[in-house]
């Protein structure tokens, strides 16, 4: 859980070969659906790792939902 105005900094692996992971456009779409501002997504060397960061939108309802159980 991040509070409004909090910074999200993370990385993930993109789909490569036979492993099922998100494609870059799927990750970008998922991030846009969250209450986030200032989203940046950058591929690492080799194109498999992607780094992303964003700021949680401020105001009411601006915090991210808790992870699923």
Structural domain boundaries in the chain:
7-56
pLDDT number for residue 54:
94
Q: Does residue 65 surpass a pLDDT of 70? A: no
Tell me the per-residue pLDDT of 13-61, one tens digit each, with 9 for 90 and over. 887 666 677 888 998 999 999 999 999 999 988 888 899 999 998 755 4
Tell me the per-residue pLDDT of 50-62, one tens digit each, with 9 for 90 and over. 999 999 987 554 5
Cβ atoms of 56 and 38 closer than 8 Å: no
pLDDT number for residue 14:
83
């Amino acid at each position: 859980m991040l509070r409004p105005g909090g910074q999200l900094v993370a990385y993930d692996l993109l789909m490569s070969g036979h492993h099922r992971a998100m494609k870059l456009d799927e990750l970008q779409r998922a991030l846009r659906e969250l209450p986030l501002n200032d989203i940046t997504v950058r591929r690492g060397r080799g194109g498999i790792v992607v780094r992303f960061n964003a700021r949680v939108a401020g105001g009411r309802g601006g915090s991210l939902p808790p992870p699923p159980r």
